[in-house]
Amino acid sequence: MAADDRREPEPPPGFVPCDIADGRFADMVGPLYVRRDAQGSCFGLRAEARHGNVRGSVHGGMLMTLADQVLGLTVLEAVDLAPMATISLNCDFVSAAMPGDWIEGRATVVRTTRSIVFVRGTLTVREAVVLTASGIWKRLKAG
């Protein structure tokens, strides 16, 4: 098999590599893509075999990691990239994602205070909800 035959399919039209800095950990689980539209940012990831669990579906920990990225990056956009950290992330698994699936994530900031941001979001595969999440992010002191 040629090297090109093993390459994962390209992301859907409109998605480009995510340009929001998210540290080196994101490199290990990604690449993460983003498409910006009238509803805000939609993040996407092509699930790979390396993201799988023993049953062959995408591992729940991987889905939670993706939710943390989607919600966190949405918060970062909302606060003009001010330093933030996850202090709470709650996830509910709704259905399975499989290697090869294109997983999309969207989030919405629900409330912002001086130091805390509340956010919720969903991960979907072909518009079917895979995971719902809510979280709280704390503004960090610069420096």
Per residue in 46-80, pLDDT tens?
Answer: 999 999 999 999 999 999 999 999 999 999 999 98
CA 135/CA 72 separation, integer angstroms: 9
Which domain CATH number covers 108?
3.10.129.10
CA distances from 48 to 22, 128, 135 (A): 20, 19, 26
Mean pLDDT of the region 22-30: 77
Give 2's pLDDT tier (boundaries 50, 70, 90).
very low
Average pLDDT along the chain? 90
User: What sign for the dihedral angle of Cα 107, 125, 45, 13?
Assistant: negative
Q: What is the dihedral of CA 59, 74, 32, 104, to 10 degrees?
A: 60
User: What sign for the dihedral angle of Cα 28, 105, 85, 39?
Assistant: positive
How many residues make up the chain in this entry? 143
pTM: 0.89
First to last CA, the chain: 50
Domain that holds residue 33: 3-139
Question: Other CB atoms closer than 10 Å to residue 104's CB: what's the count?
Answer: 23
| Of 23 and 91, the one with more pLDDT | 91
Question: Other CB atoms closer than 10 Å to residue 24's CB: what's the count?
Answer: 6
Tally of structural domains, the chain: 1
Per residue in 103-138, pLDDT tens?
Answer: 999 999 999 999 999 999 999 999 999 999 999 999
